[in-house]
Amino acid sequence: MPFRFEFPAVVRNTARFYGDGLRSMTLGRSLWLVIAIKLVVIFGILKLFFFPDYLGTHFETNRERADFVLEQITHPQPSTSPGGELDD
Amino acid sequence: MIDHLDLTMVNWARAQFALTAMYHWIFVPLTLGITWIIAYYHSIYYKTGNEEWKRLTRFWMRLFAVNFAIGVATGIILEFEFGTNWSNYSWMVGDIFGAPLAIEGLFAFFIEATFFAVMFFGWDRVSRKFHLFSTWMVAIGSNLSAVWILVANAWMQNPIGQEFNPDKARFEMTSFKDIVFSPIAVAKFTHTTSSSMVLAAMFIISVSSWYLLKGRHQVMARRSIIVASVFAFLASLFVIFTGDQSAYTVAQKQPMKLAACEGLYRGEEGAELIAFGILNGNKKIGDDQKPCLFKIGVPGMLSYLSNRSFNSFVPGIEDMVSGNPSRNIMGTGQKMEMGKTALAALAEYKDKTTSGDAAGAAAALVTFNANKQFLGYGYLEKPEDAAPPVALSFYSFHFMVILGTLFPVVALAFLFFAWRDTLADRKWLLRLGTIMFFLSLIAHWLGWIVAEVGRQPWAIQDLLPVTVARSNLTVGTVQTTFFLFLALFTILLIAEIGIMLKQIAIGPEEG
């Protein structure tokens, strides 16, 4: 007799519960669409192109990051000069 | 005010953070508060089996879902901003914030996500008891997940349970308990969650008032208002109590903030609490001008609020800036000296460690440890820099208090006329009711302005000013993302208002 894998009943019932619930939504579909678009914009555009982790992208190791921050806090650069143009 | 309008990188980054936080804070308090009221509505349905309460519960759940969907993930943008605009700060607090934020994530995922689905999909699918349990768990879970972010914020206002590691340039946690149960954290959590309950109750009162004005869904609207008014009234009283606790902890831990909120330049015994006042815009720290052009005050009340004694001394801005030896208050100038000594010792420690001079490094570390409690003052240019913007703190605080006093009165009025069964005839009250949500939202925003502007110049109280907490970015970079956010948030807000208004117009399912 061929082996046939079946998920436990609790898993099947839970999946059916969520599946039925999602299918029966009317307003919920619009809301999921809003959430999906928002997540794409937040993670796919904002995070990727506009919000890199400054220390994560500029340094390889935590030691380098710690040294950089230590340098920053012990020899801070002026931040109130007009324009405040600093290193990028 | 104009003195502080300095749009360099730091201030653009601050403006961006404020914009994001204020947008995020439209959704958070409504979620925190309305889940309790929905759970209560659901409980009434569970107890009575009355279908009208079921329709009512489902209707408010629907509006909650709209709010949740539009608001979800907006807080993540704040974390992006930490990493990009505030990288020094982000690095330095990573060890402290890691645990609370991880716990928040777990709470949000396991409790909210699991029971959230059962709450929405569970009608006639799970047992009535488990369904009701799930609704309560959504309320408990969402409020518990808020604990952790508020703990993180409270730590910035009162950085206890930590030790600065000069090798890693990080504040490291030494006592989780001290951080979680710090007086500021406890006051912040209770004040925030209770005021969120007021906001949510006002949201229900606003929507229901509109229905009554339009003559629609009157039974549902009246029932919703009665329960929401009881919640609003009781929660408002609790907000006054927690507000008092909050002011007391601020007086103990951040006296400069309290002095700015009250426009108190020179400390005094039996200090009065200003109920309403107009500040003298020309007043400068150290001059002889009066701080207020006009004021109505309650004698001794600020002393009581600060020290639980009507005759006690409350320090003013000038006492803390210039020092007041007779009151044993150290001036900012002396703290700046100690801060500069700590910074020089930290730099020396780094140099000696790099060059392998262990004895020199140890000596520098001793000097650093002796002065590190005022580390942040070493960055200030003049003692007056330790004072926050007084006008913004003062007016935000007072308008918040005025609004906070209005809420229980309005809630009582709604209850009174509902009891007299004449609510539908009180058009003036219903019209006022329609704007109560917006007034309570403004009160929340003002509260955050008090908390955050009032603690300037600090990112971490006494230890790190915002000017040093930032990343090395150009103004243009931050300006670009600021306007990008402004556009994104405006679109999302229009989407939310559109979906929300449509759902309100549809109203509850007809029986």
Chain B hits for A83, CB-CB cut-off 8 Å, are: 8, 475
Q: Tell me: do B117 and B218 sit in the same domain.
A: yes
Q: How far apart are CA B236 and CA B247, in angstroms?
A: 16
Residue B348: name the closest of B360, B336, B366, B333 by CA: B360
Q: How far apart are CA B193 and CA B320, in angstroms?
A: 32
In a domain, B255, yes or no: no
Report the pLDDT value the prediction gives residue A1, as an integer from 0 to 100.
62
- B65: contact with A, CB 8 A cutoff: yes
Q: Tell me: do B227 and B308 sit in the same domain.
A: no
pLDDT in tens, B14-59: 999 999 999 999 999 999 999 999 999 999 999 999 999 999 999 9
pLDDT in tens, B424-449: 999 999 999 999 999 999 999 999 99
C-beta separation of B52 from B215 below 8 A: no
At residue B286, does pLDDT exceed 80? Answer: yes
Q: Which residues fall within 8 angstroms of residue B195, CB to CB, at 6 or more apart?
A: B29, B235, B239, B242, B404, B440, B443, B444, B447
- A69: contact with B, CB 8 A cutoff: yes
Which of A24, A71, A84 comes nearest B475 by C-beta?
Answer: A84
Chain B hits for A47, CB-CB cut-off 8 Å, are: 80
In a domain, B199, yes or no: yes
Whether residues B169 and A18 touch (CB distance < 8 A) is answered with: no
Q: Tell me: do B131 and B184 sit in the same domain.
A: yes
To the nearest whole angstrom, how far is the Cα of B451 from the nearest Cα of chain A?
23
Which runs of consecutive H residues, i.e. helices, occur in B263-389?
A: 301-307, 317-322, 332-355, 358-371
Three-state SS at B158: coil
**In terms of residue numbers, what domain contains B58?**
7-250+390-506
Q: Which amino acid is present at B489?
A: F
Q: Tell me: do B14 and B67 sit in the same domain.
A: yes
In a domain, B256, yes or no: no
Domain boundary (B311, B327, B343) is at B327
Distance (Å) of CA B183 to CA B144, B212, B453? 17, 43, 20
At residue B290, does pLDDT exceed 70? Answer: yes
Q: How far apart are CA B206 and CA B201, in angstroms?
A: 9
In a domain, B2, yes or no: no
Whether residues A21 and B167 touch (CB distance < 8 A) is answered with: no
Q: How far apart are CA B245 and CA B305, in angstroms?
A: 8
Q: Tell me: do B349 and B471 sit in the same domain.
A: no
- A60: contact with B, CB 8 A cutoff: no
Domain boundary (B359, B379, B399) is at B379
Q: How far apart are CA B191 and CA B245, in angstroms?
A: 9
Q: Which residues fall within 8 angstroms of residue B115, CB to CB, at 6 or more apart?
A: B134, B135, B137, B138, B141
Dihedral sign for Cα B471, B473, B474, B475, please. negative
Residue B207: name the closest of B56, B88, B79, B92 by CA: B56
How does strand B273-279 pair with strand B292-298? antiparallel
Report the pLDDT value the prediction gives residue B433, as an integer from 0 to 100.
97
In a domain, B384, yes or no: no
Kindly report the three-state secondary structure assignment for every residue of B49-118: CCHHHHHHHHHHHHHHHHHHHHHCCHHHHHHHHHHHHCHHHHHHHHHHHHHHHHHHHHHHHHHHHHHHHH
Q: Identify the bridge partners of residue B298 per DSSP, sorted by sequence position.
A: B273
C-beta separation of B15 from B485 below 8 A: no
The residue to which tokens 């918040």 are assigned: B400
Domain boundary (B307, B327, B347) is at B327
Neighbours of B118 (CB within 10 A): 21
Average pLDDT score over chain B: 92
At residue B1, does pLDDT exceed 70? Answer: no
Q: How far apart are CA B274 and CA B398, in angstroms?
A: 8
Give B8-34 as a DSSP string. Answer: SHHHHHHHHHHHHHHHHHHHHHHHHHH
Whether complex ipTM tops 0.85:
no
Q: Which residue of B has its CA nearest to A48?
A: B80
pLDDT in tens, B62-110: 999 888 888 877 888 888 888 888 999 999 998 888 777 777 777 776 7
Q: How far apart are CA B442 and CA B207, in angstroms?
A: 17
Q: Identify the bridge partners of residue B297 per DSSP, sorted by sequence position.
A: B274
Over pLDDT 70: what percentage of chain B? 98
Q: Which amino acid is present at B339?
A: G
In a domain, B511, yes or no: no
Whether residues A85 and B475 touch (CB distance < 8 A) is answered with: yes
pLDDT in tens, B81-91: 888 889 999 99
Three-state SS at B510: coil
Q: How far apart are CA B208 and CA B83, in angstroms?
A: 42
Q: How far apart are CA B273 and CA B181, in angstroms?
A: 28
pLDDT in tens, B456-470: 999 999 999 999 998
Which of A34, A50, A76 comes nearest B481 by C-beta?
Answer: A50
Q: Tell me: do B243 and B154 sit in the same domain.
A: yes
Q: Tell me: do B364 and B410 sit in the same domain.
A: no
Q: Tell me: do B203 and B246 sit in the same domain.
A: yes
Q: Identify the bridge partners of residue B276 per DSSP, sorted by sequence position.
A: B296
Burial of B356 (0-12, 13-18, 19+ CB in 10 A): exposed
Q: Within 13 Å of residue B157, how many CA atoms lie on the same side as its CB? A: 33
Chain A hits for B376, CB-CB cut-off 8 Å, are: none
The residue to which tokens 């969402």 are assigned: B142
Q: How far apart are CA B243 and CA B245, in angstroms?
A: 5
pLDDT in tens, B225-276: 999 999 999 999 999 999 999 999 999 999 999 999 999 999 999 999 999 9
Q: Tell me: do B126 and B19 sit in the same domain.
A: yes
Q: Quote the tokens at residue B60.
A: 């408010």
Neighbours of B329 (CB within 10 A): 17
In a domain, B396, yes or no: yes
Report the pLDDT value the prediction gives residue B477, as an integer from 0 to 100.
83
The residue to which tokens 């030691």 are assigned: A63
C-beta separation of A86 from B472 below 8 A: yes
Whether residues A51 and B81 touch (CB distance < 8 A) is answered with: yes
Q: How far apart are CA B152 and CA B128, in angstroms?
A: 37
- B20: contact with A, CB 8 A cutoff: no
Report the pLDDT value the prediction gives residue B3, as an integer from 0 to 100.
43
To the nearest whole angstrom, how far is the Cα of B247 from the nearest Cα of chain A?
32
Structurally, chain B folds into a number of domains equal to: 3
State the DSSP H helix or E strand holding residue A9, giving kind and residue range, or none if neither.
helix A9-23
Q: Tell me: do B342 and B416 sit in the same domain.
A: no
Report the pLDDT value the prediction gives residue A80, as an integer from 0 to 100.
44
C-beta separation of B379 from B468 below 8 A: yes
- A45: contact with B, CB 8 A cutoff: no
Q: How far apart are CA B229 and CA B511, in angstroms?
A: 25
In tens digits, what is the pLDDT along chain A, a chain of 88 residues?
Answer: 667 777 777 778 777 777 777 677 677 778 888 888 888 888 888 888 888 888 888 888 999 999 999 998 998 765 543 333 334 3
Q: Which residues fall within 8 angstroms of residue B330, CB to CB, at 6 or more apart?
A: B323
How far apart, in Å, do the first and last CA atoms of chain B sit? 56
Report the pLDDT value the prediction gives residue B458, as an integer from 0 to 100.
96
Burial of B485 (0-12, 13-18, 19+ CB in 10 A): buried
Q: Tell me: do B188 and B76 sit in the same domain.
A: yes
Q: Tell me: do B345 and B288 sit in the same domain.
A: no
In a domain, B1, yes or no: no
In total, the C-beta contacts within 8 angstroms joining chain A to chain B are 144
Please, what is the Cα angle at B94 between A87 and B243, to 5 degrees?
110
The pLDDT confidence band at residue B307, using thresholds 50, 70 and 90, is very high
- B379: contact with A, CB 8 A cutoff: yes
Residue B416: name the closest of B431, B399, B429 by CA: B429
The pLDDT confidence band at residue B332, using thresholds 50, 70 and 90, is very high
Q: Which amino acid is present at B472?
A: N
Instruction: Determine the distance from the C-alpha atom of residue B292 to the mean position of all C-alpha atoms in its chain, rounded to a whole number.
Output: 27
Report the pLDDT value the prediction gives residue A18, as an integer from 0 to 100.
75
